[in-house]
Amino acid sequence: MTKITYTNIGTGDFIYSFAIIADTHVGEADDGWDYGYRGWDDYLTSLPYGIGEPAERLECAVNKINSLIESEKIRFVVHLGDMTDSGELSEHGITISILNKLSVPWIPVIGNHDIWPYCNDKAQNPRFRLNDHVSSVRFVNRSPNPFENGVYLYEHANFSGKEEFFIGDVPDLEGSFIGNDKASSVKAKGGCWVTLYSDANYNGYYMNVKETSNLDMNDKISSIKIIPKDSNPSVTVYKDANFKGEFEKYTSSVNNVPKKNGRDWISSAKLRDCEAIFYVDADFKGYYMYAVGDISNFDMGGGLNPGVSSLRVHNCNTKGIYLYQDANYKGKFSLFCVDCTDLEGTHIGNDEASSIRIVNGAVVALYSDKNFKGSYTLFKENDPDFNKRLEAKETDPPDIHFYKLYKPYVEKLKNFGFANLEIAPAPVWNPEVKRNSYFLNYAFDYCDVHFIVLDFNPRSRAPLGAPGIGFTSNLHNFPGGTYQWFSQHLSKVNKPTIIFAHHLLTLSMQFSGFAPPSFSQAEYALLIALLYPYRKHLLGWFGGHGHNDWEEWEDMVIKVIETDACKDVDGGCVRIVKIHSNFKTEFDKQPSYPKKYNRIINDPKILRGKPVIKGTRISVELIQNLAKNLGWSAERILKEYPQLSREDVLAALEYVLEK
């Protein structure tokens, strides 16, 4: 059964409500693999074990909300962040698909688990770079029985000697295991066929064959079996290559082709509405070539002859990849259609790959270490030089994915009666991590209430090596990121306001000797100082993150309400926030503050003769010492020094922090 918690905002007539879901952590408890592969840009092709318990509890919460829409006048739903467990696209995709089942609009708030730093791999690699070190290959969407649909080239006649499997197009066999101009027989499986070319890049002589036991058939053909596709099949054979010289046309099988000047003479052939099998001996015996189209030269046997230098495989849907030793698909290469735990021993070898070609929509993860360990990168398309691209990726923002995912859902709010929608500019330059950061901050009006959605999440690997925000409790680039836009936006607000943020505005966890990811004391003080002038407008700060259900006033400036984690409650949990017509009672609960500075500081130990901060009676040295000894908490400072005014302390804290 879904847990329901109610919160009332204001008194008087009940106007409408909105629902809150928090901390669903979709994808949790799956050994870090989620629904696709490790890394934020994993790719979801199927659900190997279902959506998992956290997602099922989110579904329960969504169903419960839908059942209460009419009775509770629910107009929208807010997800307070940590929608996913490790910020991977597969998790985001499933979360979005469930939230889209809501019968009212839903509003995304980004949590620390929803962003890139939370999906470092098991080895704690902060970047996904190969640097010419590829040691294992793992497929996301492998074809069933892949080696039953493709083409085999053989070194010798009658399918003997070295063997190599091919799918898709191969513009140059130089660098392959079998080599250039070395193939002597061909076999296609699974209904596919192949065009073989004498020159690289699909040039020169060619033949369209399904199978041939010998590629040197020039001037050796003695019988032809025609397999009709239509009512008027024909095979025209020519004395010279490229369909030149004397010719004969056959419309039915010939068990003994007439010789010219006492010898076999056929060098090329055109097929119309048929397939044909050419044999070196009469009565359809001996070496053979099964052709499905024109053959411009029956001699593709290598040696001094043209040989095979490139090929195209047709009617083949096997998924696979070609790994090349050098950039731009040069050097040694190998085809992979199944997982490979160790490239040592393959033709391309270990730590050699530099470029990749994708065939038939394959998706693979390339790992720096064998047995699918170490750093890795997911590939879904060709890359002529992935080392160069991945080096460039170091300076690119790694958190664009969720911003691009959720911004369209924010923009859609305009279609549902949400007025004055403002989305903060993104990206903003983050000097701390030296990259652009895509903070998803926005605001809107609904029925005379202003709503602000804030993103205080980090944008880089956190201190102490932990993914996401670490135990230093420092939300990265705080002054230059969300805080900057928030302070500018708040100055324009003159109506009742509700704030949504994944992180709670609280210091209750900071003094227990253990500092979980939350606002640092300095960040907390800066926010309290920012909010203080607008306290008469503030209806509440709704957050999650702590996986608890409680509310309290913070520094008597704003009430903070935390919603329990949906993933921790059987059946999920939902908070229904009811908006009433009269907010005056809520405001009256806040204490009154002095309008003038009516507390004179006479204690010489406090003033110490230092110049005071403008607009206050506190010196810079004083506030710095107090903050150092008591933490950046106005409440703790006022408790220790009651002769100081709240307004002085808040103004002084703000001044020092801004400096």
CATH assignment of the domain containing 458: 3.60.21.10
Percent pLDDT > 90 in the chain is 48
Domain C-terminal end among 347, 371, 394: 394
Q: Where residue 379 falls among pLDDT bands split at 50, 70, 90?
A: confident
The span from the CA of 489 to the CA of 266, in Å, is: 84
Mean pLDDT rounded to a whole number for the chain: 81
Place of tokens 């230098």: 309
Domain C-terminal end among 267, 285, 314: 314
Q: Where residue 119 falls among pLDDT bands split at 50, 70, 90?
A: very low
Q: Where residue 205 falls among pLDDT bands split at 50, 70, 90?
A: very high
Residues 403 and 512 in one domain: yes
Residues 327 and 411 in one domain: no
This prediction has a pTM of: 0.54
Residues 253 and 268 in one domain: yes
The span from the CA of 214 to the CA of 188, in Å, is: 14
Q: Which residues partner with 11 through β-bridges?
A: 582
Domain that holds residue 547: 3-115+399-588
Answer yes or no: are the C-beta atoms of 452 and 497 closer than 8 Å. yes
Residues 352 and 480 in one domain: no
Q: Where residue 629 falls among pLDDT bands split at 50, 70, 90?
A: low
Q: Which residue has the higher pLDDT, 606 or 77?
A: 77
pLDDT at 127 over 50: no
Tokens at residue 510, please?
A: 């900071």
pLDDT at 274 over 60: yes
pLDDT digits (tens, 9 = 90+) for 331-370: 999 999 999 999 988 999 888 888 999 999 999 988 878 8
Whether 470 maps to a domain, the answer reads yes
Residues 568 and 448 in one domain: yes
Q: Strand, coil or helix: what is 618?
A: coil
pLDDT at 141 over 80: yes
For 328-372, where are the E strands, in sequence order?
A: 330-336, 355-359, 364-369
Residues 444 and 465 in one domain: yes
pLDDT at 24 over 90: yes
pLDDT for the residue numbered 198: 92
- Count CA atoms within 13 Å of residue 616 on its CB side: 23
State the CB neighbour count (10 A cutoff) for residue 613: 20
Residues 84 and 215 in one domain: no
Q: Strand, coil or helix: what is 390?
A: helix
Instruction: Give the CA-trace dihedral at 597, 601, 606, 611, to 10 degrees.
Output: 60
Report the number of distinct structural domains present in the chain. 4
333 CB-near residues (< 8 Å, 6+ apart): 175, 176, 322, 323, 324, 325, 347, 348
pLDDT for the residue numbered 507: 61
State the CB neighbour count (10 A cutoff) for residue 232: 10
Residues 299 and 153 in one domain: yes
Whether 533 maps to a domain, the answer reads yes
Whether 202 maps to a domain, the answer reads yes
The span from the CA of 512 to the CA of 583, in Å, is: 35
Whether 267 maps to a domain, the answer reads yes
Place of tokens 């890394």: 39
Answer yes or no: are the C-beta atoms of 553 and 591 closer than 8 Å. no
pLDDT for the residue numbered 518: 66
Answer yes or no: are the C-beta atoms of 269 and 295 closer than 8 Å. yes
Residues 30 and 159 in one domain: no
Whether 264 maps to a domain, the answer reads yes
Residues 556 and 408 in one domain: yes
For residue 418, give the amino acid letter: F
Whether 129 maps to a domain, the answer reads no
Lowest mean pLDDT among 108-112, 418-422, 540-544, 556-560: 556-560
Q: Which CATH number goes with the domain that contains 307?
A: 2.60.20.10
Whether 308 maps to a domain, the answer reads yes
Q: Strand, coil or helix: what is 495?
A: coil
Task: Please give the angle made by the CA atoms of 324, 330 and 331, to the nearest 5 degrees.
Answer: 75
Residues 513 and 579 in one domain: yes
Answer yes or no: are the C-beta atoms of 248 and 236 closer than 8 Å. yes
Q: Where residue 390 falls among pLDDT bands split at 50, 70, 90?
A: low
Residues 616 and 583 in one domain: no
Whether 599 maps to a domain, the answer reads no
The span from the CA of 94 to the CA of 92, in Å, is: 6
Tokens at residue 453, please?
A: 């959605």
Tokens at residue 462, please?
A: 């956190």
Domain C-terminal end among 298, 314, 330: 314
Q: Where residue 260 falls among pLDDT bands split at 50, 70, 90?
A: confident
Place of tokens 């997982």: 339
The span from the CA of 40 to the CA of 57, in Å, is: 23
The span from the CA of 288 to the CA of 293, in Å, is: 15
